[in-house]
Structure 1
Amino acid sequence: MSITTERPEIAGRSLTTTVAREYVHRAALSEVFLTGWEKAGTDAFTVTAQWPRSHSFYTSEQGFHDPLLLCETLRQCGLLLTHVGYQVPFDHSISWSRLQYSVNPQALRIEHTPAEIELHVTCSDVRYRHSQAVTMTMHIEAVRNGSLLAAASIGFCGHSPAMYQRLRSGRNVAQTFKNVPTPPPAVSRYAVGRSRTQDIVLAPTSERWRWQLRVDTNHPVLFDHPLDHVPGMLLLESVRQAGHALQPSWSPMIPTSMDVSFNRYVEFDNPCWIEAEPLAGEVSAARRTVRVNALQGGAFAFTACAEMTDVSSI
């Protein structure tokens, strides 16, 4: 009896692995999408990534990758480069101040193999405190198969452990995470275009186009490890779901662009309200531009604009 073992092609006889999970602040190896990096010039880098053909949370819709998979890749890219490119220590806290991206929807098509992505990164407005980089903006062009997949920019802020403790009023991560309130009931899966209740981050209110942010710390992807505040990727998901909920449809809507300003941390122990509205004229069935705001304690935690696109129209 003969046994045939098929193996994937290995280009140039080189082997590929992911970057260390510590560089991208992930506990699960399966959630690390970056595969390598190199310096390309002064404040310039090239980062490589691979996307799986399917994912438990960043779900594939009618043959297209989820744009929020791009956002998670951008998040990981930013964290990696602050550590390896600017020697920011692992015990420093790094957070977004702003995220902008726009994707070419055609380049999101799922192929017969995982998507190989190149991220060409240029850093600007790098500010130092005592020789330590504390803020910067990363401008990123994502390329797939030689074609532009997306253009993006991310603003980052870094804080030393002592500064972060002052900023967070001495909050303890373990204790804060342990005492997160039970999430309220979710809106319907139809309203936000999600197939699993576990993935829904909005809870209904009595007001039209207004929801309570739903935070489930048992979610294995959004809460890969304990935190003392609501993570940014959950907030981006709330923008996507609110944009869909303005005019619910069985046809999937994906966020092909976003511009999000993060003003403050979203806390676990105080309700956060998500409000949305269409930005221009009537809400289109195929494409809509929406404004989404998060309010907590009477202040805007984030403000966002997003373009939602029906994947059947691509």
Structure 2
Amino acid sequence: MASATLTAPPTAAGRRPFTGGERTGLSDLPPLTTTVPRQYVHRTAVSEVFLTDWRRAGTDGWVVSAQWPRAHSFYGPVDGLHDPVLLVETMRQASILLSHVAHGVPLDHPIIWQDLHYSLVPEALRVTGTPAEIELHITDHDLVYRGKRLASARQLYRVRRDGTELARAELNFSCHSPAVYRRLRGKYSDLQRANDRKLDLAEPVAPRLVARDRTGDVVLSPTGHANRWQLRVNTAHPVLFDHPVDHAPGMLMVEAARQAAHAAAGPGFSLPVDMACSFHRYAELDAPCWVEATVAGRDGRDHLLLDVDIRQNGQSVFTARAASQSIR
């Protein structure tokens, strides 16, 4: 499971960000664009908000716009291609945004992932001389309500860049009130207590082994066993831990899967063009998580298949299958 919670002042559902001169009377100026309010995507840092607008598309669909920078402190390009995990973060933000503006979920309600899957077109990730303008065409399916409030949903994504298909994806998530979340989390719902009990930061593997440039961005720690690592949980990381949380966040799990798949595949297989992830339970901060990767053969497109399992206290908290393509 993975969740995101951020308390913010109430706002009207369906409100859109400032996008045009008509709101100031400056109708002779070209349309102006900004990011959506950071509270709508459960982010503290405005710089980590990638969404710029949203609009309705039919009775059960939405188009969400985003912009990907040419460089980013964490989701930076590799070999001239945008980071595919940036797609997952953009989906995360879009699902949270729509839960609030389309379905009226209060801003203090955690959004919890069950599973996600993406399949992308590598060439559409190519970095150019300008930021990438992204459109996520999203349709809602299997909406479940508890009373008048959304309890869970399945979203299908068609992701386009400048009119060209970039990816197709699916995300399943649930929404919970703060009271329900506290019951689910038990003693771990106490944010301060959960962080006071966190483990010391483990040593990193060499960044080059996991396609990273900086030690601070490495989320795996060596164990002395091939293709087995301890999850490195750095609660001071400014992107993965944009704000304090009571458990290891879902984006950390996805990044760990990507790094483990890269390390297990070896040089030349650094682009996860397809990934399916399942979040089984919360990963707590007070016990080690063990990350294991297994090479599972190749698919019909000659992509290397890798299975990743993250376990804590003898139970699986997260699993993923990645299909990696050589980009060298």
TM-score w.r.t. the length of structure 2 is 0.88
1:244 aligned partner: 262
CA spacing shift, 1:281–1:46, aligned 2, 3 Å: closer
Alignment of 1:174 onto 2:192 = yes
Query: Residue 12 of structure 1: CA displacement?
Result: 7.8
Q: Deviations over 1:199-246 (max 9, x none)?
A: 011111132211111100111111110000101111001011101111
Matched, 1:235 2:253: yes
C-alpha change, 1:219 and 1:252, in structure 2 (3 Å) is farther
Q: Is the 8 A contact 1:193 1:253 kept in 2?
A: yes
Q: Please tell me whether the aligned partners of residues 281 and 318 of structure 2 are also in contact (alpha carbons under 8 angstroms).
A: yes
The structural deviation recorded for 1:298 is 1.2
Match of 1:86 in 2: 103
- 1:58 is paired with a residue whose SS is coil
Is the 8 Å Cα contact of residues 61 and 311 (structure 1) preserved in structure 2?
no
Contact 2:269 2:324 in 1 (8 A): no
Residue number in structure 2 paired with 1:219: 237
Q: Partners of 1:49 and 1:175 in 2: how far apart?
A: 36
Question: What are the within-5 Å matches in structure 2 for residues 1-314 of structure 1?
Answer: 13-170=30-187, 171-249=189-267, 251=268, 253-280=270-297, 287-312=303-328
> Cα deviation per residue 1:50-84 (whole Å; 9 max; x = unaligned)?
00001110111121100011110000000000000
Give the TM-score, by structure 1 length.
0.92
Q: How far does residue 175 in structure 1 lie from its aligned partner after superposition?
A: 2.8
Gaps of 5+ in 2: 1-27
**CA separation in 1, counterparts of 2:325 and 2:232?**
24
CA distance in structure 1 between the partners assigned to 2:274 and 2:55 by the alignment: 27
Match of 1:8 in 2: none
Which structure 1 segments of 5+ residues have no match?
1-10
Contact kept, 8 Å, 2:275 with 2:321, in 1: the verdict is yes
- Contact persistence 2:199–2:288 (CA under 8 A): no
Residues 3-32 of structure 1: CA distance to partner in whole angstroms, max 9, x if unpaired?
A: xxxxxxxx9810000000000000000000
Paired residues in the alignment total 299
Deviations 1:173-203 (A, max 9, x none): 1332243222111111222121111001111
CA distance in 2, matches of 1:229, 1:275: 20
Contact 1:193 1:248 in 2 (8 A): no
- Identity of paired residues, percent? 47
Shift of residue 281 of structure 1?
Answer: 6.0
Deviation at 1:107, TM superposition (A): 0.3
For the aligned residue pairs, the C-alpha RMSD in angstroms reads: 1.8
